[in-house]
Amino acid sequence: MIQIKICGLTNLEDAHVATEVGADLLGFIFYEPSPRYVTPDTVKQIVTELHQRESTARMVGVFVNATPETVRYTLDYCQLDLAQLHGEESPDFVAQFATQAYKALRPQSLADAETMMTPYLAIEADFQLSKADRPQFLIDAYHPILYGGTGHVTDWGMAATLANRYEIMLAGSLTPDNVAEAIEQVQPWGVDVSSGVERAKGQKEHDLVRAFVRAARGRRASSMC
């Protein structure tokens, strides 16, 4: 089954709706320049409340060029399951977190993607993972400066070739209107959405969250409460 990640969450209400409609992963951004930045204290409160409500979604911290100590502390403090490393983190950096981390890449082309992936694949080979554990990579739209949130759609043809070889999570301007087509074309391990289900930056539109999950699961509107 396709894995669905709702990212850029900043408050409990939005996070609860995401879990209620069946999101598999919830993403919290710990990169201060991001308009969706959220503090560790806030995330800790959200995650604690969701655990009390017996949520089964996995919690993901999104980091951009943070120190290993910061990543490790935040994972522990906020009770997070995974770290998405979205900056220029090296293979050695990723290896410190073993199966708890995966690398986000923003390739310009298939050749660029393969070049970027190669140093990390040796790490992947050291870990025996089931497909349910986490993606090997997140593939986001290219931008020379921005770390996600670019408003650009990822090259689905490139992503489809990568998805045939690796377990990838597809990101890059996905919406309720295009996610079903993206899944059909790319066949990824999972899909990641943030701005595509927002009414304002950092604030989710709940009807869009529901519509995104419905579309990603291949359900008609009438089949979901």
DSSP 15-53: HHHHHHTT-SEEEEE--TTSTTB--HHHHHHHHHHHHHT
Q: What was the pLDDT predicted at 125?
A: 66
Encode pLDDT of 41-94 as tens digits. 999 999 999 999 999 999 999 999 999 999 999 999 999 999 999 999 999 999
Q: What was the pLDDT predicted at 148?
A: 47
Q: What is the mean pLDDT of residues 19-30?
A: 98
pLDDT at 151 over 50: yes
User: Residues with catalytic annotation?
Assistant: 7, 140
Residue with structure tokens 């983190």?
89
Encode pLDDT of 204-221 as tens digits. 999 999 999 999 999 544
How long, in residues, is the chain? 225
What token pair was written down for 61?
């911290």
Beta bridge partners of 39: none
Q: What is the mean pLDDT of residues 36-43?
A: 98
- Output the average pLDDT for the chain: 90
pLDDT at 223 over 70: no
Q: What was the pLDDT predicted at 99?
A: 86
Strands 190-193, 198-200: pairing is: unpaired
Question: Whole-model pTM?
Answer: 0.91
Looking at per-residue confidence, does 126 or 112 come out higher? 112
pLDDT at 142 over 60: no
Confidence category of residue 224, pLDDT binned at 50, 70, 90: very low
Q: What was the pLDDT predicted at 123?
A: 77
211 contact partners, CB below 8 Å, separation of at least 6: 176, 197, 221
Confidence category of residue 122, pLDDT binned at 50, 70, 90: confident
Q: What was the pLDDT predicted at 219?
A: 59
Query: 3-state DSSP call for residue 127?
Result: coil
* Calpha distance 92→118 (Å, rounded): 13
Q: What is the mean pLDDT of residues 155-159?
A: 95
Q: What was the pLDDT predicted at 29?
A: 98
Positive or negative, the CA dihedral 63, 69, 72, 78 is negative
Question: In CATH, which superfamily holds the domain spanning 3-223?
Answer: Aldolase class I (3.20.20.70)
